[in-house]
Each structure stands twice: as C-alpha cells, then as structure tokens.
Structure 1
Amino acid sequence: MERREFIRISGLIIGSFLVTSKMVIANNVNVLSTYSNEFVKKIISIIIDLKNEGSNLVKKIMSGKKYEYNPYTHYPYDGGIKDEETGYQVFFHIHRENEYGHFHTFATDENGELLHLVLISMSEDGKPIGISTVNRWVTGDKYVKANILKTLAKNFSIDPNLYIDKRVIEFINNIFKAYTNEIENLFDDRDLMIKNYVDTNFREPFEDRELEILSFKEIKI
C-alpha cells in the first residue's frame, strides 16, 4: 500500500498503532501568545461567532456525527478534506487523553507523497489547546527535514469552500498564519529531538512506539 493512500482508507495505519501507544512529550511545554497578530484575532472571531450560534469548531467538523473515541473514525468523513489544487489536507479524530480530539494536517510533495505538518489539539468547547509534531510511525508519512516542512507550512492553504462551513477551514488556515514562528520552532525542536535520540540510542526513533509526540506547544485562547 502506498503511504499516500492511508488517509483515504479510514486511517488504518494510524489507528493500528495509536490505540496502544504511550504518549511521550519530547519537549518542554511552551505557552503561545494568543493576541499577537491579526490571524489570532481571526481565530478568536471564528470561535466567538460559532459560540453565539450555539456551536463550535469541533461540532462543525463532526457535522452531527456521533462522538467516537476511536482512531479509525475520521471527521467529517473518511479521508478528510483535501484541496486537490494545493495538495493540503486535514481530518479530525479522537483517541488521546487530555484533549477532546485533534486535527491532522498534511501536505503532499512533488511525487504526491504525504508529509505530516502539525497536529492541532482541541478542547470540548472547540478551542485550540496545542500544536504538535508526531513521529513518523504515527501517520506513515514520508520523513523530510525541518527546512522543507517550514516552506510547506508557510504556504498551507485549503480552499474554505471545500467544506460546508468554511469557518472550519479558515480556522485551520489561520492557525498556520497566526503561529508561523512557533510552528517553525516545532519543526526545529523535532529535528533536535531526533538527533538527540540517535546520539543516545544509536538508531532512528521513527518506529519507536513509545514515542508519539516529538515536539509540542500549548495554546491558550
């Protein structure tokens, strides 16, 4: 099975490993500033608008479907939302403690292979509470160095009109714009974590099922 197919077929690669994995945070938690730029304000505006409607980002991405603590269940549907023009995609699922669920975000390279960017953790009331990078075994994607991921993250864009409520996609797009520097730091922290792991264990960490999260930053809104 090609790596690029794993999203389309209900996340079986992710699910088979995440259920039994032990979450390890490889870096100290850093709290992100929440009022630093216009894109953060856009995120807050989306959250407030949805709250005034009696809804939130999590409810919108779940689109009326049952809450399932199951890595095999993807929202809003199997495979998630993919922009065929830009190659970026996103889906939401639920299987980790200390969060209500999370978004996985991806890019594709020139050969169409998946490259995981960041995981966006969400609270039950639909607020972002953290961003992370994950080990390669988690998503089965292709490993590339931080400098490549930085370029891809900087250009992240999914057409908001690809989803029934475009504010969900606008939120994802704005996360990448609001926290550009922090996301770049996450990639650097990830690469440093990998280097330190290799120096200590004399092997790469990519198949270490005890190591899920390679870098993490907390968000408070």
Structure 2
Amino acid sequence: MKSPRSQDHAPAAAETELQALSLQELADLAEAGEEIRTVEAVLARTGDNVISEILRNQGPFYEWEAYPSGGVEDKETHARYYYHAHAPDRRPAQEHGHFHTFLGPEGMPRGIRPAPAAPGHLLEAGQDGPCHLIAISMDRHGRARALFTVNRWVTGETLYRAHEVNRMLDRFAIGHARPSWPTNRWITAMLRLFRPQICALVRERDRQLARWQSSHPSENVLDDRRLEITSWLDIDIEQQMAAIDSFQDGKALT
C-alpha cells in the first residue's frame, strides 16, 4: 500500500453531489454526522475509540491480520467489515490501519450483477460475491483521516461497476451489538455521512482502472499488483458537517 495522494476529480465531484442534495437528504447526512459525534464523545469519556473497541480481547495486534477475528457481518443486511494494518513501510504516513467495508450479494438491491465480461474489456465477470464499498483510513488516535478504494486483487472481491456500487451504499448497516455496538454504529454512520464522497471515489476508481488498462494493454489490470489504491480522499468529519450546514442554510433561503 504505497503512500497515496488525493485524487484530482473526487473532491470536486463530491462537493457537486453534496450541493445537489435536497434539504431532506442533507438532513439525513447531518443526522449521521451527529451519530458519529455521539459515539466518539461517549468512547472518549473512558479513553476509548472505535479501533480500541475492535481490538478489545483480541490478544496481540499483528500487522496484516483482520480484526476482529473472522470480521464482522450482519446476517440480516449482509453488511461486513474488518480492520487491519499494513507494515509501517507499506502504509501512508500517519495511518495506524484501516477498515474495509463490504456488502454481500444477498443484501444487494435486486437486479445488480457483477461487471460484465466483454472481449478486451478491463472488467471481468466473476462469481457473485461480496462487493468492497470503501476503505476508511484511521490515525493512531482512532480518528478517520481518509477514504479510499482499492483494486480487486487487494480484497478478492467481485467487481461491480460504480453505479452499481453506489446503489448498495444505503444497504450497509451493522445493526447488532457485537463485537462493539459503538463501532458498529459509527461505521454505519460513516458510510452515510460521506456518501457523496464515496460515490465520487468509486467513479474515480473505475476511471483509474480504465486509464491503467489503457497504458498496460497486455496486463489484467484487476490483478496487477502495481496498482493497489485506485482513489483516495482526505476527510474531516467537522468540515463535512460545516459544509452540510452551509448548504442547508443556502437551500432554506431559496
């Protein structure tokens, strides 16, 4: 996992999407942000955070291992996630580790199919399997610092095109209490608060895959170990909430 840089297209596209939302949609994002604030504040009172919650009772923390053991899955929604960290020389500066989030095929909206195969096309059909939605980069204080997408080989997912992935986002919800009710609530709310950014990042992922395939025509881009991170965006929860407030105020006056 090489140290990434922010993608050029995702921030502007996300801001455009955010500005285009209705007052109700903006209110839904703001509600998710308040949920995140509440979870973080409650955990902070005991010196905890969403990472320490996941690592509790897990024994020694080993790089590359997934935590909690076996990951987390909601059997009703088929949303899944796990947390892990790369070796220090294989992760971005200031990152402790990151969450990977998925949706299993049983939880996807009707009619969604893996990316179709076509002669010479960069996207290859696979067996219906879990779709990677977004990764959340975390700092050593348990705070979210960035969102990013990855190439297919990184997680072994089944690839779905951006417009299909973005249809899945509202289906991601971890509604049970194990291994940590606060972390489950937090990660569910994160995918709602930053939905516009996630949509933009997944579209940028598809563009990056296409660019890479065009410049490496003899390679299978989805299995090319030289391409790991396909889009990246630094984030700040309070800045996102401030932007939502600003757009809400602007729409209320029109």
The answer, yes or no, to whether TM exceeds 0.5 is yes
Normalized against structure 1, the TM-score is what?
Answer: 0.80
Deviations 1:83-123, CA, capped at 9 Å, x for gaps: 12211111111113431111111111257612111111111
Q: 210-219 or 94-103, which moves further after superposition?
A: 94-103
* Residue segments in structure 1 that go unaligned for 5+ positions in a row: 1-20
1:103 maps to 2:99: yes
Q: Please state which structure has a larger fraction of its residues in strand.
A: 1
Q: Which residue of structure 2 lines up, in the alignment, with residue 75 of structure 1? A: 67
Q: Secondary structure at the match of 1:89?
A: strand
Corresponding residue pairs, total: 197
Aligned to 1:89: 80
Identical pairs, percent: 28
CA distance, structure 2, for counterparts of residue 57 and residue 194 of structure 1: 32
Higher gyration radius (CA): 2
**What secondary structure, in the 3-state scheme, does the structure 1 residue paired with 2:174 have?**
coil
Partner of 1:158: 174
Distance 1:25 1:214 in 2: 10
* 1:41 Cα offset (Å): 2.4
Aligned-pair CA distance for 1:160: 3.2
Matched, 1:27 2:7: yes
Mapped partners of 1:165, 1:83: distance in 2 = 12
Q: 1:30 and 1:80 mapped to 2: Cα distance?
A: 30
What amino acid is the match of 1:50? L
In the alignment, is residue 214 of structure 1 matched against residue 224 of structure 2? no
Indicate conservation of the 8 Å contact 2:54/2:179, yes or no.
no
* Shift, 1:204, TM fit: 4.0
SS at match of 2:227: coil
* TM-superposed deviation, 1:65: 3.4
Identify the residue that residue 50 of structure 1 maps to in structure 2: 43
CA deviation string 1:38-79 (max 9, x = no partner):
2122212211211111111110010143553421x22122x2
Q: Kindly report the root-mean-square deviation, in angstroms, between the aligned alpha carbons of the 2 structures.
A: 2.5
1:112/1:199 CA distance change after superposition, 3 Å: closer
Where in structure 2 are the equivalents of 1:112-123 lying within 5 Å? 113-123=129-139
What TM-score do the two structures reach when normalised by structure 2?
A: 0.70
